[in-house]
Structure 1
Amino acid sequence: MVVAGGCDPGTRALGPDRPHKGRLQERARRIRSETMAIRAISADEFESFLRESEYAVVLFDASWNAASKEEFRPRFEAASETYADRVVFGEIDCDDSVEIARSVPIVNLPTVAYYRRGGLIAALVGYQNVTSLAQALIEGKPIRREIEFPITSNLGRFLGALIRRS
């Protein structure tokens, strides 16, 4: 029996076993990469993506990481819009491209990798100011995370002093 909308009630149209899941994900990835300055990169495209421009910034994340999408994604998009003419921005789903994820020292998600002339310069974990780090990449400056601690706490003063020394 087929119900309105053409779906057989015996199939699990919304479950994880649905037959068109892979095609729908690929189509969504293609649409997302066509409408934004951030490209979804597959394992086959990775090397050519790094050679497209002198500078590349790649976000390593996973589809299940909802907090990253809500909090970090807007920062990454802002950086991609700011430097779209000088830096290529891409994203890799670590669940889909395990081999590429293993080539970068990923200890947690999200991780942003910064490349110059195809070579990995830095891979930073967590939330970061991608715009200023992309600027540092272009200028040839070292890529480091800016860590800020509340100065009001003793721990904040201690850690701030420790970081300034290094």
Structure 2
Amino acid sequence: MPLPRFLDIEYCQTDDTLFPTAMSWSLEDGRLKTVVIAPEDSWIPEDGDLGDIDLLYLEEQGVPLIELARELHQDLPDQTVFTDGMDPDEILVDLIFTAVSMEAPFEIAPITELITTSDTDRLEDRRRQLLFDEGLEPTQSENGVYALLLLAREEGLLED
């Protein structure tokens, strides 16, 4: 049985803008990939106010959107990819693929569609507890994916 796939996206959100800044996803074998995302020029507000986001870092270290889109097509074709269901993940994925005039190769579903034995609040509490227990920063996308993998393992959906 193939392992479920998971995805988490860090993002910038201000009054004027919403765009992805980093993304992590799991592969079929359970490994994680993480990339910093170079923003599309049209995503940056005219006043340049991005709150605490370092635009220079994103521009210098970020992966161009076309490269990210190709990698996601390679890694997640025809997959259902599960998220924590707490973030605007579908909107962020649409922003990425609209910017490169491509269709997303996967469907997004909340973790509650994979783990049906618990409600959203209980799963979110457990995910946060796993992050705390592991000493992981909850705002980093790779940690979000790792916590979802741990949740799935607890539910017997992954082998140790």
TM-score with structure 1 setting the length? 0.23
Structure with larger Rg: 1
Give the TM-score normalised by structure 2.
0.23
